[in-house]
Structure 1
Amino acid sequence: MSAPTVSPSEGQLRRAASALRHDPLALTGAAVLVLLVVVGVAGPWLAPSGINDVDVDRMLQAPSWAHPFGTDELGRDVLSRVMVAARVSLQVGAVSVGIALLAGVTLGLFAGYYRGWVDNLLMRCMDVLFAFPVLLLAVAIVAVLGPGLLTAMIAIGVVYTPIFARVTRAGVLSVREQVFVRAAVSIGASDLRIMRRHVLPNIAAPLIVQTSLSLAFAILSEAALSFLGLGVQPPAPAWGRMLYDGRGFVTDAWWLGVFPGAAIFCTVLAFNLVGDALRDVLDPRQLTVNEARRSTG
């Protein structure tokens, strides 16, 4: 005999999907993200030109019908490079946040469930990482491992791990004292089974919100690393690297910085819009605030 698995997260997710359908800002953000995924996946085939097709005869041409985003200092089509660079940003965001999510949730689960010296040891380590500025720690990790796409993803994943560990631990501390967890313990369920079947499903909501918000910051971090020359290496296109390459042509070729910057801005804004909408629906504290406002209004 086993204790029933309690998973109110299913109802929360349905409520979140319904709320998102009625939120114009969230729908706009979701539409931008869908477009970004399509461009990221099919970018090499949708791009009107090759990303490294050099043509000095058309260097630094302003936006036109032939080149809607203009050309860079080597005559390469900026639109094509922006489109292909979307895949890099999505890849870095997904992999790095995946690393942070896996490591942070694991550490937070053990820290919150076992408490005591396990909690102190794990969370003090997370506090040490959390004390460093995000970009500074990422730069230090990349400096040790060497610049490149893989090391950038690892560095960003490491620096965001403490956030997921803290969110997970806070959720576990509140859930582990619930009746259904005590029931599972009383019938002899193993700790791993309790954490996997009873604790984790009930803290999924804040983790989903944190994941959506962290994706935006991960893309910003990747752009910063690429701007510093520590992320994606040339000739592969990356939005941050394109901003760096265009810094010397700000007055003569404004499009070199405007369009990659606009791509970063729209992507981060879209993730934040979706993340804020999810937080309004899934965060219990936010739900309490919204209900209080409706009752007083």
Structure 2
Amino acid sequence: MTDRVSSWRLLAGNPVTVISAAVLVAVAVIAVGAQWLAPYGVNDIDVPNALQSPSGAHWFGTDELGRDVASRVLVAIGASMRVAVVSVAFAAAVGVTVGVLAGYRGGWLDTVLMRIVDVMFAFPVLLLALAVVAVLGPGVTTTTLAIGIVYTPIFARVARASTLSVRTEPYVAVSKTMGTGDAYILSRHVLPNISGPLIVQTSLSLAFATLSEAALSFLGLGIQPPQPSLGRMIFDSQGFVTLAWWMAVFPGAAIFVIVLAFNLFGDGLRDVLDPKQRTMIEARRTAVQR
């Protein structure tokens, strides 16, 4: 209990981590309540008011059809977050299962599973996602599945590496000699002790999943119109950059802030959950206090 309290204090003592956590909470609120927070309908066309600069009526201006950019950004953030969360959850579930089985069992199962993972890792993330979407067709479901597939190998490697170090611990060996079943050992000893690296990887993967969704939507293979998406909004703004800078700046800023917040929060979690990093930070603080 004391160690857990110390971890929270260490996390709260980093202002960058606190700010990034606050930003992510705001993003989560937007993702859940975007439909109610949006001041206008995302597809309300008002051609006479097209390409208006940011004002009191339209905080982020309007696009080429007179649609409110702020409303579209809010709803697009919600769509991007849903794709990112579901795809990373899929990748974590499959990847952790594969990695834990490979690391715990070892032998030919480890060899076969990790060679499959290595083959998937050989492809660039975006290229593999493009291939999956090209085969299954564009859309929210296929985009989510494609991103989940390309990030599964990352979780598999992290889980396997952590499992290899945990399975040699004395408490695991004692459980085996007592005849404890593998399912109990995995659920009570292995998974709780490899959760730290997996939590950090989840935060970082959410950042890259957001980028991947935006890239696929920019290429026309992700979220399809009329549903707004941040990547598609940037694509549509290309012909109006000199006339309406706000059409590209605000969706791009949303992507930048979300990705940066996930990365900074992941770094903060790593400092707390990684024993080596935590020891170094506590030693530096002790030295400063002296």
TM-score between both structures, scaled by the size of structure 2: 0.95
2:35 is the counterpart of 1:44: yes
Cα shift at 1:289: 4.3
Match of 1:65 among 41, 52, 56: 56
The equivalent residue for 1:279 is 270
The equivalent residue for 1:26 is 17
- Opposite residue 162 of structure 1, the aligned amino acid is P
The equivalent residue for 1:184 is 175
The equivalent residue for 2:98 is 107
Contact in 2 for aligned 1:12/1:281 (Cα 8 Å): no
2:146 is the counterpart of 1:160: no
1:84-103 mapped onto 2 (5 Å cutoff): 84-103=75-94
Across the aligned residues of Structure 1 and Structure 2, the Cα RMSD in angstroms comes to 1.6
- Opposite residue 82 of structure 1, the aligned amino acid is V
1:177-216 mapped onto 2 (5 Å cutoff): 177-216=168-207
- Opposite residue 161 of structure 1, the aligned amino acid is T
- Opposite residue 93 of structure 1, the aligned amino acid is A
Partners in 2 of 1:211 and 1:12 — Cα distance?
A: 22
What SS does structure 1 have at the residue aligned with 2:34? helix
Match of 2:237 among 236, 246, 251: 246
Distance 1:214 1:176, change over 3 A: same
2:148 is the counterpart of 1:148: no
Cα shift at 1:56: 0.7
Partners in 2 of 1:122 and 1:165 — Cα distance?
A: 9
TM-score between both structures, scaled by the size of structure 1: 0.93
Give the % identical residues. Answer: 61
Distance 1:275 1:56, change over 3 A: same
Task: State the number of aligned residues.
Answer: 288
Point out where structure 2 has 5 or more consecutive residues left out of the alignment.
none
- Bigger shift: 18-27 or 56-65? 18-27
The equivalent residue for 1:136 is 127
Partners in 1 of 2:42 and 2:242 — Cα distance?
A: 24
Residues 233-275 of structure 1 show CA distances to partners (whole Å, capped at 9, x for unaligned) of 0010110110011111111110000000000001111111111
Residues 216-242 of structure 1 show CA distances to partners (whole Å, capped at 9, x for unaligned) of 010010000000011100010110110
Partners in 2 of 1:16 and 1:96 — Cα distance?
A: 29
The equivalent residue for 1:172 is 163
The equivalent residue for 2:74 is 83
Partners in 2 of 1:250 and 1:39 — Cα distance?
A: 27
The equivalent residue for 2:249 is 258
Contact in 2 for aligned 1:181/1:194 (Cα 8 Å): yes
The equivalent residue for 2:209 is 218
Cα shift at 1:192: 1.7
The equivalent residue for 1:4 is none
- Opposite residue 36 of structure 1, the aligned amino acid is V
Cα shift at 1:295: 8.0
Partners in 2 of 1:272 and 1:78 — Cα distance?
A: 26
Match of 2:109 among 118, 131, 135: 118
Distance 1:177 1:220, change over 3 A: same
Distance 1:74 1:268, change over 3 A: same
* More relative contact order, 1 or 2 (CA 8 Å, 6+ apart): 1
